Amino acid sequence: MRRPTPLPAPDQAAPDRESAQDRGVEPPVRQVGPPRRADAPVEEDVADRDDHLTAPLMPLWVSSSPRIDEPADISVGEEEAPVGVREVWAAARARRRALRAEVRRFTARQRRRRMAWIVAGSALLLLVLGTLGVAYSPLFAVQQITVVGTSTLDPASVETALDGQLGTPLPLVDSSAVKAALVKFPLVESYSLEARPPHELVVRIVERTPIGSIQTPAGFTLVDAAGVALSTAPQPAAGHPVLTVTGGLSSPAFTAVGTVFRALPGDIRAQVTAIAATSPNDVTLTLGSGGTTVVWGNADDSPLKAKNLAAIMTARPGARSYDVSSPSTIVVR
């Protein structure tokens, strides 16, 4: 856009107007509008001239921005109402709600993981509590006692001695009471309890192995290798050898006798009718009704001596004496 030509400075135009007035001549009128066309009629020219004469002078261009020396048109709005306590609390609550929403959004995964752990732990706890509750309830009470592992001992007598455990929940069976009842049976060397839900209690018994009858003031007492008295009768117990041991049940000779007897194979053990020992180094066995003698010596290398004795008795049956006191050299007579 072409910039309009600026007006002349006031200090230059004023002398011209004054000189013209002093001379009595009308100052020329500057034509502001567009130039008159040569072919325009006179009426239009007069009208235009009248309009220009009567209309006030207007500036050629007007700036859209206000002048510096003119006051700006500033509209003053209504005065704001004071903020009350209720509005402040409402804004604070809204801010807290927004903050909590953001926290929940950013911690959603952590909360889901925590919830999964809580659910799993609760389920496990309920399972354990339910199991314990059922196990300790009358639903798993003892209604049957079964005794196994006995050969000499009467199982029915053991079951009768344990009748006090009937009606007791399996986890609450009193082991002390069971032990007190089984102590009355000397043949019981050890025992174990086994619960078979829902109602059976199994008592596994390991019996003592008698090695023979030893003569005492009360009669013939059947004893095991530890010297525990199993029974006492006027006559020696059938099927068990008679023991003749110097020093009694607490002597080293008796200990050697027990070690030798327990090392014998089952078929040879059944043939032993008597065992004698005056010291731990001269244990002697008597086999069968024919009185075959086995010189054993001390209890050292008893498993090897038992193996050699079984082999020589098979190779040389009917001999009167077998001497296995030296495992490397066996003497047969």
Among the listed ranges 18-32, 238-252, 270-284, which one has the minimum average pLDDT value?
A: 18-32
- Looking at residue 8, its pLDDT comes to 54
What is the distance between the alpha carbons of residues 146 and 194, in angstroms, rounded to a whole number?
10
pTM greater than 0.75:
no
- Owner of token pair 């050890």: 190
Tokens of 306: 């038992």
Question: Once rounded to an integer, what is the mean pLDDT over residues 19-41?
Answer: 50
Query: Which of the four CATH numbers 3.40.50.720, 3.90.1300.10, 3.40.50.170, 3.10.20.310 does domain 138-207 have?
Result: 3.10.20.310
Segment 191-248, tens digit of pLDDT = 999 999 889 999 999 999 899 999 988 899 999 998 999 889 999 988 899 999 999 8
Question: Once rounded to an integer, what is the mean pLDDT over residues 268-296?
Answer: 92
Most confident range, picked from 93-97, 129-133, 276-280, 288-292: 276-280
Segment 87-141, tens digit of pLDDT = 888 888 898 888 888 888 888 888 888 889 999 999 999 888 887 777 777 888 9
Fold of 210-332: Rossmann fold (3.40.50)
Domain ranges of the chain: 138-207, 210-332
> Looking at per-residue confidence, does 165 or 14 come out higher?
165
Examine the pLDDT at 61 and tell me if it is beyond 50. no
